[in-house]
Amino acid sequence: MGSFLGRPATPTVMDEGIKIMVDSTISKSKVVVFSKTYCPYCKRAKALITKFPIKPDQLEIIEIEKRPDCSSIQAYLKEITGASTVPRIFIDGKCIGGCDDAIALDNSGELEKLLSSCGALQSQ
């Protein structure tokens, strides 16, 4: 069955390169934030995460709107996390959610514990 525009109504096949890029980024860095530069929630999340002394080689911030594959990245984030909105924050390979989730974890003291337990923080 086709769409009303005459195109086939087949699901888009996720580009394998997107999966590899996202998965390898999440696995190589202890802290990964998928973000958009103009998003106020992303700005808050990045400010929150960067208040901790994270080792420079353990923090990766991907500003997806600067990439031509932005929509594909968001589609894959939805596939692996259940949400396509940004920010999407990963600590030690696990998605902790978005801005509100990170704030709640910080308020409870859990965010620092997560960052410390995975070895992302610099020695003080």
Q: Which residues of 29-63 are buried (b: 16+ CB within 10 A; e: fewer)?
A: bbbbbbbbeebebbebbbebbeebebeeebbebbb
For residue 2, being part of any structural domain is answered with no
Beta-bridge mates of residue 63: 35
Distance separating the N- and C-terminal Cα atoms of the chain: 61
Q: What is the pLDDT of residue 30?
A: 98
pLDDT band at residue 14 under the 50/70/90 scheme: low
Q: What is the pLDDT of residues 66-94, one digit of tens each?
A: 999 999 999 999 999 999 999 999 999 99
The answer to whether position 22 is within a domain reads yes
Q: Are 81 and 88 in contact (CB under 8 A)?
A: yes
CA-CA-CA-CA torsion sign (56, 96, 117, 51): positive
Do the domain assignments include residue 1?
A: no
pLDDT (tens digit per residue) in 26-50: 999 999 999 999 999 999 999 999 9
CATH of residue 51: 3.40.30.10
Q: Determine the structural domain holding residue 61 and report its residue range.
A: 13-118
In a domain, 101, yes or no: yes
Provide the number of structural domains found in the chain.
1
Question: What is the C-alpha separation between 75 and 69, in angstroms, rounded?
Answer: 10
Q: How far apart are CA 89 and CA 95, in angstroms?
A: 6
Q: Answer whether residue 59 is part of any domain.
A: yes
Residue 32 lies in a domain: yes
- Please report whether residue 7 resides in a domain: no
Residue 8 forms part of a structural domain: no
